[in-house]
Amino acid sequence: MQRFDKVRSRVRFESVDSETSRGESCNVTVRLEWNGETYPATETGLETQQGIIKAASQAALAATLSTTSEQVDLQLVGVKAVRAFDGWVVIVRLSGHHPEGQRLLGAAPCETAEELSHAAVQAVLDATNRVLERGPE
d(CA 46, CA 38): 26
| C-beta separation of 13 from 40 below 8 A | no
Q: What integer best gives the mean pLDDT of the chain?
A: 87
Domains in the chain with CATH codes: 9-132 (3.30.160.270)
The residue among 2 and 104 whose pLDDT is bigger is 104
The model's pLDDT over 14-47, given as tens digits with 9 standing for 90+, comes to 999 999 877 789 999 999 998 899 999 999 999 9
Of all residues in the chain, what percent carry a pLDDT higher than 70? 86
d(CA 120, CA 118): 5
Q: CB of 107 within 8 A of CB of 129?
A: no
pTM of this prediction? 0.86
